Structure 1
């Protein structure tokens, strides 16, 4: 009889651990430990489970895009804005870029200690086609050492106007796809507060944001609606859906934009109309600078 090699007690095989934790095929357990998603003994606490579930769901949306764009030997470039600890970037590299053998991920983050730790982790894992940059999104768009074009732009829970900066980066770099999960948003809400008295005297719709909690929620809703219209006006087909169940994250809106080249004039018109309706026209120059010129009226 063939000799069956027994595993030491308490030491389950890696594939058994992966199955128990519902990890993606090929997922590096050592990477998840290095990211502190798994503990040293391979356990997954509830907070880490939520985090991993969000990144995996996002991967399901991004992977088909990467697969399509990498056809014909193309080396896909991906910019991950507001990268934080780069959970998304590392898992994308581990599950897709590593075995593909081409393509590059740029993680852009303003907090220097996070950038340094990501650089060290990538070097230790041999993820040599990952770069981490300590700069803002706006600075990265102007950096002359960055590629002139990017294929994919991602932003997972980039706070407040960082999502708008990521969109501006994608437009400037002629991104073929953008995958965005906005986080806290304060800019539009602040504008609504400033014009609240005037709006209440002008339209009953202002009751929708009269109370502070409603101002915050309306500001968030309006922000994402304007972002979607802006992307459509600039030639993208936009899909909006949930990232994961609301029990995992309250910031759960996922915006997927694919470039088609078809600029929707109606989207540009509606965007301008909404800015006027809510008294926030001041945002057009700063947030929607690439909005197509308004059609001449006859």
Structure 2
């Protein structure tokens, strides 16, 4: 097969030399039982050297392997001899189509080019930094005066950028008024509150008012002082319990790491205000565990302490998600940031929906969960 494929290899080498290579695709598998419909090959720069990335697109998953140019010739010959009957070499000059018959006869056809520009050669997609070059980062001790991230704060900086990425995606899923009212309940030292305000107001030019609710007055004074220094005129912090906050005009309710039932108090405030978005990162989860303390559980998953703790965290947050669904919210539960950086890494999001809800079916799910784990009542249920 090597001689029959020589025209392809020559065209591939010339396109690379002339900086016109775009990509190479393999198709028409010889055996469908291999469950490998396609292989896509693109040029990348890996550790400063020219390489080729082979994306094996299986029916159930994708696998990626990187090869040098010489290795790529060998792998291509093997794939076209044993796996595929067709290939297309895309260059800026033309498309070269390769057809291989059952008797291994190779035919070529040249078409006009499909691409006018090359694909990016970076191996990894560059992550967008949404939090940068802002005075709040310096005042909160995340960067130095020159804007460089202080090494010990690198994880917090990474968390901030991930948080803003999530928020940006969620804003596209709901309908918001021209003036957005955001309340961050349990704002703490305000890292994420400041980041959200700066990103929405100063970078995205939203008309947004952000209020941080925090019980500790020293942190409220600290945050209000920084807001003043940064000239963040629509950002303020209030010292009071979440339960006492009585403003019902909330478009986005945020409660990140509000301890135990404080998360439920925050969710209830969001439900009462009919907020378009409710964003939580729950922690502690003591209420359910204390209810079932001393009760023998049938499930072997609950035999060991660490598994029991995790299981009841999942049950607590699942019931929260179901209650949000019952109140016309589309819910998502996912990992906020890797366990490598923090254990408090689960994010629960509810986006207001107009779809019809089968409340009886959801009630049955909640009841079955409570019965399975001998739970008398979820705190959020008692609030509603």
Query: How does the TM-score come out when normalised to structure 1?
Result: 0.78
- Is the aligned partner of 1:85 residue 2:189? yes
Look up the match of 1:253.
Answer: 346
Question: Which residue pairs with 1:165 in the alignment?
Answer: 265
Equivalences for residues 62-211 of structure 1 within 5 A: 62-66=167-171, 74-98=178-202, 100=205, 102-140=207-245, 143=246, 146=247, 148-194=248-294, 196-197=295-296, 199=297, 204-205=298-299, 207-211=300-304
Partner of 1:55: 160
In structure 1, C-alpha distance between the alignment counterparts of 2:228 and 2:207, rounded to whole Å: 17
Residues 155 and 46 of structure 1: is their aligned pair in 2 closer, same or farther, counting only changes over 3 Å? farther
Instruction: Return the offset for 1:82.
Output: 0.9
Q: Which runs of 5+ in 1 are unaligned?
A: 1-21, 292-298
Task: Indicate if the aligned counterparts of 1:192 and 1:215 stay in contact, CA closer than 8 A.
Answer: no
In structure 2, the gaps of 5 or more residues are 1-126
Deviation at 1:191, TM superposition (A): 1.5
Task: Say if 1:234 and 1:264, in contact at 8 Å, map to a contact too.
Answer: no
Distance apart, 1:55 and its partner CA: 2.0
What are the Cα deviations for residues 48-95 of structure 1, in whole angstroms up to 9, with x where unaligned?
111121221121121244467686x61001111110011111111111
Q: How far off is 1:244 after superposition?
A: 1.9
Instruction: Note closer, same or farther for the CA distance 1:226–1:25 as it changes in structure 2 (3 Å cut).
Output: closer
Greater share of residues in strand:
2
- 1:101-126, Cα deviation, whole Å (9 max, x unpaired): 62200101111110001111111111
- Alpha-carbon distance in structure 2 between the residues aligned to 1:57 and 1:259: 22
Q: In the alignment, which of 306, 310, 317 is matched to residue 224 of structure 1?
A: 317
Change (3 A) 1:105 1:60: same
Larger helix share, 1 or 2: 1
* Structure number with bigger Rg: 2
- Number of the residue aligned with 1:212: 305
Per the TM alignment, residue 260 of structure 1 is displaced from its structure 2 partner at its CA by 0.7
Structure with the greater relative contact order (CA < 8 A, sep ≥ 6): 1 or 2?
1
CA contact under 8 A between 2:175 and 2:276: conserved in structure 1? no
Counterparts of 2:275 and 2:337, CA distance in 1: 25
SS at match of 2:138: helix
1:15-54 counterparts in 2 under 5 A?
24=129, 27-40=132-145, 42-54=147-159
Give distance in 2, aligned partners of 1:276 and 1:248. 35
Instruction: Note if contact 1:109-1:115 (Cα within 8 Å) is conserved in structure 2.
Output: yes
Question: Which of residues 259, 266, 275 in structure 1 aligns to 2:370?
Answer: 275
Secondary structure of 2:227 counterpart: helix
In the TM superposition, residue 234 of structure 1 has moved relative to its aligned partner by 1.2
Partner of 1:17: none
Is residue 263 from structure 1 mapped to residue 354 from structure 2 by the alignment? no
When structure 1 is superposed on structure 2, of 177-186 and 77-86 the one drifting more is: 177-186
- Seen in structure 2, the aligned counterparts of structure 1 residues 132 and 178 have a Cα distance that, compared at 3 Å, is same
- In the alignment, the residues of structure 1 paired with residue 201 and residue 173 of structure 2 have an alpha-carbon distance, to the nearest angstrom, of 13
Give the CA deviation at 1:25. 5.2
Q: Distance in 1 between matches of 2:130 and 2:164?
A: 13
8 Å CA contact retained: 1:239, 1:255:
yes
2:130–2:165 contact (8 Å) kept in structure 1: no
Q: CA separation in 2, counterparts of 1:23 and 1:118? A: 26
- TM-score normalised by structure 2 residue count: 0.61
Q: Is the 8 A contact 1:231 1:238 kept in 2?
A: yes
Write the deviation string for residues 159-204 of structure 1: whole angstroms up to 9, x where unpaired: 222211111111111111111111222111112214x23x4xxxx3
- In 2, Cα distance between equivalents of 1:91 and 1:115: 16
